[in-house]
Amino acid sequence: MTVIAQRLVGEVLLLTGGQLVPGGAVDIGTDGRIVAVGPESGLAPPERVGSVDRVGGLLMPGLVNAHAHTPMTLVRSAGDGMPLETWLTDAIWPREGHMTPDDAKWGMMLGSTEMLLAGVTTSCEMYFFEDAMVEAVRRTGGRLVMTPGVVSALLPNGDVEPRITELDELFSRYHDPSGRVTVGFAPHSPYDLTPEQVAKIARQAQAVGALLHIHLEETEAERALVLARHGCTATQLLADHGVLEGQVLAAHGVWLDANDQRLLAEAGASVAHCPISNLKLGSGIAPVVDFLSAGVNVGLGTDGVASNDNLDLWEEVKLTPLLARGSRRDPAAMDAAATLTLATTGAARAVGLDSVGDLRPGAWADVIRIDLDQPQFAPGIDLLTHVVFAGSSRHVTDVWVAGHRVVSDRMSTMVDLDEVVAQCRTRGRRLALAN
Ligand SMILES: [Zn+2]
């Protein structure tokens, strides 16, 4: 018999597909996974439960951020107003070039805590400084899908093999589906790397069963560049080189055409939809309803905070259906339940996790509590719609990851946030001045 370590009892549970369960509770095992969910009256008798915590409020799965570069918190807002290409080369890369592993650790701790306080329990990170990233989330309590980056500028003589060896080692060291860290491979993009380089990385990812995370069709200029260089779209290029044969997460997809979408759908690939970053950099608006109609799985992402400029996925949750409705002039283009799917189970599937984003037996107890006593949740008749269109991260009061309470009454239980903020102020200023 599974031991029930703790029971969280809310006013309402929010389950997959937008199902609301009044008087609902979540039973959590000693292993941090959910044992049972449902109306408290239908669960095991209290004497079989280690502790019963009547937390009230709305209990729902933690949100999943499908595309981020979180240590970029240290360069937050840098280069505002520049287009992607010059923003990267003139504002971001020169600053990041001075970043140390310790900087990345503090930047990751800051961003990870920012996300946890907002109820975002998992993030998929394309970055470097891998040991520092893992150490940071071990301290904050967050869940990390770490996809170490591969960029052409860091390859000796264009040789991708040494980095593939490193990726392999990182995968062996840190990939742990029974813990809080999993590992994928992240070739930057089909315009930064050659198709042969991306294909080599993809083959190795496929060999070990790792997620392949890549930027795809973010800007119109990038699309034109790849078309001119290769005579086909970036997606076709990836398909022709066998890259789509594994598990693929493509970030952005703003300029994907119908054929590209078909290729991604047939391959079972996912798109990380990052509408705020795409708007802030003037890249465009991804046709996310078309993706879904074509059968492409979609998860929401913030992207890095230099192009957002925060990690509050609730902003994407509200903006995604608004953009979909406004751009299609159709108020039925995306409803509240479909939107929440993109931030939970859709994003979880996109980042290669099948046991987060959903309150169900066997899933990780990554649970967040929303304070329903706030004005935005009255009258509470259309509660699901309130959550998506009236709610926000400021209503998240408590957060559990694998059953461990990492945020209590809007405070991190894991880190001294004042210290983290102070460290990041000092380090961020140093990077800006070194530029
Ligand atoms: Zn990105």
C-alpha count within 13 angstroms, C-beta hemisphere, residue 83: 8
How far away, in angstroms, is 369 Cα from ligand 1 center? 29
The dihedral formed by the CA atoms of 346, 188, 190 and 285, expressed in degrees to the nearest 10: 50
Strands 12-14 and 58-61: parallel
Predicted confidence at residue 84, as pLDDT, reads 82
**Residue 206 scores a pLDDT above 80:** yes
Region for 100 from its dihedrals, namely left if φ exceeds 0, alpha if ψ lies in -120 to 50, beta otherwise: beta
Cβ contacts of 150-153, under 8 Å, gap ≥ 24: 150/185, 150/186, 150/187, 150/188, 150/193, 150/197, 150/201, 151/188, 151/192, 151/193, 152/188, 152/192, 152/193, 152/197, 153/93
Measured between its terminal Cα atoms, the distance across the chain in Å is: 59
How far away, in angstroms, is 251 Cα from ligand 1 center? 7
How far away, in angstroms, is 69 Cα from ligand 1 center? 6
Q: How far is CA 23 from CA 58, 153, 166, 315, in A?
A: 10, 55, 49, 28
The two structure tokens encoding residue 386? 């309130």
Q: What are the pLDDT digits (tens) for 281-297?
A: 999 999 999 999 999 99
How far away, in angstroms, is 216 Cα from ligand 1 center? 9
Q: What are the pLDDT digits (tens) for 67-101?
A: 999 999 999 999 998 888 898 889 998 999 999 99
Predicted confidence at residue 83, as pLDDT, reads 85
Residue type, 417: L
Q: If we measure between CA atoms, which residue out of 97, 108, 101 comes closest to residue 74? A: 108
How far away, in angstroms, is 70 Cα from ligand 1 center? 10
Name the pLDDT band for 1 (thresholds 50, 70, 90).
low
**Residue 273 scores a pLDDT above 70:** yes
CATH number of the structural domain 4-61+355-412: 2.30.40.10
* Cα dihedral across residues 12, 17, 18, 21: positive or negative: negative
C-alpha count within 13 angstroms, C-beta hemisphere, residue 199: 12
Domain spans of the chain, in order of start? 4-61+355-412, 63-350
Predicted confidence at residue 88, as pLDDT, reads 87
Predicted confidence at residue 278, as pLDDT, reads 97
Name the pLDDT band for 16 (thresholds 50, 70, 90).
confident
Cα–Cα distance, 190 to 224 (Å, whole number): 12
The whole-number average pLDDT for the span 415-425 is 98
Name the pLDDT band for 435 (thresholds 50, 70, 90).
low
Predicted confidence at residue 2, as pLDDT, reads 76
How far away, in angstroms, is 173 Cα from ligand 1 center? 24
Q: Do domains 4-61+355-412 and 63-350 have the same CATH topology?
A: no
| CB burial string 264-280: b at 16+ within 10 A, e below | bbebebbbbbbbbbbeb
Considering the chain, what is the average pLDDT of its residues? Answer: 97
Contacting residues for 152 by C-beta, under 8 A, at least 6 apart: 158, 188, 192, 193, 197
DSSP state of 62: P
Cα–Cα distance, 62 to 214 (Å, whole number): 24
Fold of 63-350: TIM Barrel (3.20.20)
Query: Would you report the helix, strand and coil content of the chain in percent, each value rounded to 5?
Result: 45, 25, 30
The whole-number average pLDDT for the span 156-160 is 94
Contacting residues for 161 by C-beta, under 8 A, at least 6 apart: 200
What is the pTM for the complete model shown? 0.98
* Cα dihedral across residues 162, 167, 170, 172: positive or negative: negative
The residues with which 13 forms a beta bridge, in sequence order, are 21, 59
Query: What 3-state class would DSSP assign to 107?
Result: helix
The whole-number average pLDDT for the span 337-348 is 98
How far away, in angstroms, is 328 Cα from ligand 1 center? 26
How far away, in angstroms, is 245 Cα from ligand 1 center? 22
Region for 153 from its dihedrals, namely left if φ exceeds 0, alpha if ψ lies in -120 to 50, beta otherwise: alpha
How far away, in angstroms, is 106 Cα from ligand 1 center? 20
How far away, in angstroms, is 68 Cα from ligand 1 center? 6
Q: What are the pLDDT digits (tens) for 173-188?
A: 999 999 999 999 999 9
The two structure tokens encoding residue 260? 């590209």
**Residue 343 scores a pLDDT above 90:** yes
Cα–Cα distance, 199 to 183 (Å, whole number): 18
The two structure tokens encoding residue 135? 């150490």
120: enclosing H helix or E strand: strand 120-127
How far away, in angstroms, is 215 Cα from ligand 1 center? 6
**Residue 225 scores a pLDDT above 70:** yes
